[in-house]
A = this chain, B = another copy of it.
Amino acid sequence: GNAGYARQAWENKRAIQNLCRDLLVHRKLPSPAWPDHIVEFFLAELALCDSNNFVSNVGVGEREARVWSELVKRRNMRFAHGIGRSGTLLDIQPKAFGSSLLQTLTNDLTLDALRLAGYSKRSTASATVFPMAAGMTIAMVIRAVAQGRKEARFVVWARVDQKSAFKAIQVAGYTPLIVPLVPHPSHPSQLVLSLPHLRAILATHDPSTIACVLTTTSCFAPRAPDDLPAVARICADLDIPHVVNNVYGVASPRCAGLISEACHVGRVDAFVQSGDTNFLVPVGGAVVAGPRRDVVEQVAGMYAGRAGVGQVVDLFATLVGLGREGWVGVLEERKALFTHLHTSLSTFASAQNSRVLSTPHNDISIALSLSPLSSSSPSSSSSSSSPSPSPPLAYLGSLLFTRHVSGARVVFPGGASTVAGHEFKGWMSHIDEYAEGAYLTAATALGGTRRDVDGFVERLERCWREFGKKGGMETEREKKGVG
């Protein structure tokens, strides 16, 4: 009868409320994953805890989260007051109890996700979502760890050709001391941090003048992750803060292993990763994690103002929507995809008389030598005086771009770029002159599919052939559109 139906309905509501309570208590990725309607219900319940959704609230402050557009309210899931207080992002915002709960919960879910990805417990005492790009967040971390170091003027940094990280040092207000890369002793195609250079720099500067050492894990081949344990030991010895740029390294077992080990054997203050490349959310946020809760809290305490709730909502919905099995699943898929990419490119390379550069310590990105193309390139052969691979290789990039391949990069010697006032020779190859010449990089990030890899290799083959035919001479069409 109706009473029975009502009871069953009520049981289900209670079951869902229990799911919500369990999440708030256990603070781990749920298993099984939550369907969207439970995610939305949970968010709606939290939003009712924010004062902008109170029925009887009257506001006479300057900041009352008065959102005019219904469309905007809706896409913000009725959250409007932001997160944190002017004191620290981690404070409960009195006007936004729901948003505040959501943030701390999401921080803990992120911590769980990191541990499931292989980060040791010691390396993950705490994690916090930041509403800024990873580069901006690194700048904040640098400022936070350097807070007590009144004499600090420098940040020691192993070169990696990615603008954001380098700009972060400038934003933080420090001068970079750049440690160059060198070929790996056993794998000469692979570029690694030069520890002797690092030691030399530290020997010639008073440790008190150094804000921190900034190392990098995730990077493009032929660069490999920095030797974090070695650096961590040095930092521990010299009492210098150590910040790790792990910008897209979460899914990489190698990055996880290096960070975990470094936290065990030496000093790591915090490691920073972007939201989008690691957690399948839109661009915009970052996560700071590390072995010391106080450091993460110090960073949170530096943010001047309240944070928008967007990054937290996105990360929350994604993590509970994936659930424990889903998250582990996408990590596994990426690993398998890397193997698939490596195999596919190797097969392609041998067919083209080229080769995949040997970079065994990079399990994210792969570099394919473009030497065969460099020598056959018409324009380079015509300039007989220059035996080196020539700029028209950029045309291969154009061809890939116009065939809707994104993310592949053609790198050739001779490039240079000025970033934040510093000129980098051989820009994009992480070293002034790379012995292997021109190459192409491809990577496997979380969420990539076999369709991506197979489509890429197939289109690469067509472009390679077309490049062989036309060489560096741009067609009419290319010139107009892309040139």
Contact = CB atoms under 8 A, between A and B. Distances in A.
A6 B87 CA distance: 19
Interface string A265-305: 00000000010110011111100000000000000001111
Given A443-B60, A451-B58, A456-B58, A86 B163 contact: yes
A310 interface: yes
Chain B CB within 10 A, most for which of A4, A78, A311: A4
Nearest to A4: B482
Contacts of A134: 305
Nearest 4 interchain pairs by C-beta: A61-B407, A284-B308, A133-B305, A135-B304
Contacts of A448: 59-60, 64, 66
A65 B306 contact: no
12 contacts: A4-B483, A8-B51, A58-B452, A59-B452, A60-B442, A60-B448, A62-B277, A64-B406, A66-B446, A67-B282, A80-B283, A284-B307
A104 B167 CA distance: 23
A283 B308 contact: yes
A143 B140 CA distance: 13
Given A48-B41, A282-B76, A406-B58, A86 B443 contact: no
B305 A308 contact: no
Contacts of A143: 171, 173
Contacts of A446: 66
A138 B323 CA distance: 39
Interface stretch (A94-102, A184-192, A381-389, A425-433): A94-102
B280 A68 contact: yes
A140 B453 CA distance: 40
A41 B40 contact: no
Interface in A16-57: 16, 19, 36-41, 44-45, 47-51, 53-57
Nearest to A459: B58
Contact of A481 (B4, B53, B140, B318): B4
A476 to B, nearest CB: 14
Interface string A345-384: 0000000000000000000110000000000000000000
Contacts of A218: 62
Given A4-B482, A44-B44, A60-B448, 13 more contacts: A10-B49, A36-B74, A41-B45, A60-B341, A61-B407, A62-B220, A62-B407, A63-B248, A132-B136, A133-B304, A133-B307, A163-B304, A308-B308
